[in-house]
Structure 1
Amino acid sequence: MASSPTVLASSPSAAVGSAAVPTTPKFPVLPLVLAAVMGVAVTALVVGGVVYYLVRSGRLPAHDSSAHKAEAAVPMTTHVMALEPLLVNLADAGGSSYLRVALTMRVADAATKRDAKPKEEAAKDNKAGDEAMAEARDTVLTVLGRQTADGLLAPDGKERLKAELKAAFGAQNTDLKVVDVFFTDFLVQR
């Protein structure tokens, strides 16, 4: 039995022989590499932006060794100045509201001169202390006289008053550097 050449070419064994070299499918390598690089770049930008925002907002403290060394080298010494209780009419419409307050202030010490004699220093400190106390009482009375009962009794009233007192001391009494204000007695009467 003779076969024809056309039959042999169309037989299944002939088809397998002609496709003996398997072809590998081509993967798009360049787009995959570009996508990976872009993903890494976008992630780095997002993380960097978040860290920058946290450092600038103060939620993440930045490590600055030079600032810590400067603070450690010059410690600030303070002393306490306690004012006697004050009774102040408040700025309410009826004029019948008043505030009784006693406060204590933490004040930064002034730099002392090494050339001064101890007796002269004690006399100057006593006189300066009386003047500072009078100036402090005047400043406190001025600030308190502008307050209202509703403003003081608000949830943030005392904190706002402390900030106003510190600002007033900074503006009116430049020699007296008030670091903090503490209320030891606070009574509002309407």
Structure 2
Amino acid sequence: MAKAQAQAKDSGNNKIIMVLLVLVGLMVAITAANTYLLMDTRTMAANALHGNATEEQRRDPVFVKVDPFTVNLRSDQFGPRLLYTGMTLEVQEGDTKNILLNNMPQVRSRLLVLLSGQDAEMISTPDGKMALSDSIKARLSEPYGGSERELEIFDVLFTEFIVQ
């Protein structure tokens, strides 16, 4: 009977030791994973800080200037309204700039048609300008001159914007 109790005591101690070893191993694995992830994020942050970015992040902006023009807006309770605006388009490198420059009369026509349907009160707000910018990007990205290729326009930057 004493032997049975001694064996039971030893097997209980063995179970406790096994559980403790598993927990210690698990903690070591978690610590190693955490250290690896911290080192990796520190490396990425250091690369970004020192300018070691990827080629895509280093892309130089390509801009196309659209000369300022005046367009009639929809009439409202204040009567006829005018918009005087100039803008610069940030475009994809390559043919996009040349396509826009070669089709500038069509670009300006698309802008005039789009802008003439706008409400003066709406485009006077910051949210209205952002929505207008999105509409311009979508309209000017459509193919030109019988081509089926859509252009990639990243941003519309208003350089002049006066509503009267």
TM-score by length of structure 2 reads 0.53
1:81 deviates by 0.6
Matched, 1:110 2:94: yes
| Structure 2 gap ranges (5+) | 1-52
1:176 deviates by 3.3
Q: How many residues align?
A: 106
Rounded Cα–Cα distance in structure 1 between residues aligned with 2:62 and 2:106: 17
Pair 1:73–1:147, CA change in 2 (3 A): same
Rounded Cα–Cα distance in structure 1 between residues aligned with 2:122 and 2:143: 23
Q: Which position in structure 1 is the counterpart of 2:119?
A: 148
Rounded Cα–Cα distance in structure 2 between residues aligned with 1:105 and 1:147: 20
TM-score by length of structure 1 reads 0.47
Q: Which position in structure 2 is the counterpart of 1:100?
A: 84
| Structure 1 gap ranges (5+) | 1-70, 112-124
Q: Which position in structure 1 is the counterpart of 2:48?
A: none
Q: Which position in structure 1 is the counterpart of 2:140?
A: 169
1:146 deviates by 1.1
The one-letter code sitting in structure 2 at the alignment partner of 1:92 is S
CA deviation digits over 1:63-117, x for unaligned, max 9? Answer: xxxxxxxx94657554211111110000124651010001011111236xxxxxx
The structure 2 residue matched to 1:138, chosen from 96, 100, 109, is 109
Rounded Cα–Cα distance in structure 2 between residues aligned with 1:135 and 1:107: 17
Pair 1:87–1:172, CA change in 2 (3 A): farther
Pairwise mapping of residues 30-109 of structure 1 onto structure 2 (< 5 A)?
Answer: 72=54, 78-93=61-76, 96-109=80-93
Q: Following TM superposition, where does structure 1 have runs of at least 4 consecutive aligned residues deviating by more than 3 angstroms?
A: 71-78, 171-176
Rounded Cα–Cα distance in structure 2 between residues aligned with 1:145 and 1:102: 15
2:91 touches 2:152 (CA, 8 Å); kept in 1?
A: yes
When Rg is computed on C-alpha atoms for both structures, the one with the higher figure is 1
Rounded Cα–Cα distance in structure 2 between residues aligned with 1:77 and 1:133: 23
The one-letter code sitting in structure 2 at the alignment partner of 1:83 is V
For structure 1, which segment, 134-143 or 82-91, has the greater mean C-alpha deviation from structure 2 after superposition?
Answer: 134-143
1:139 touches 1:172 (CA, 8 Å); kept in 2?
A: no
Alignment RMSD (CA, Å): 2.9
Pair 1:159–1:138, CA change in 2 (3 A): same
The one-letter code sitting in structure 1 at the alignment partner of 2:123 is L
Q: Which position in structure 2 is the counterpart of 1:183?
A: 158
Rounded Cα–Cα distance in structure 2 between residues aligned with 1:160 and 1:129: 22
2:142 touches 2:150 (CA, 8 Å); kept in 1?
A: no
1:132 touches 1:176 (CA, 8 Å); kept in 2?
A: no
Pair 1:132–1:77, CA change in 2 (3 A): farther
The one-letter code sitting in structure 2 at the alignment partner of 1:179 is F
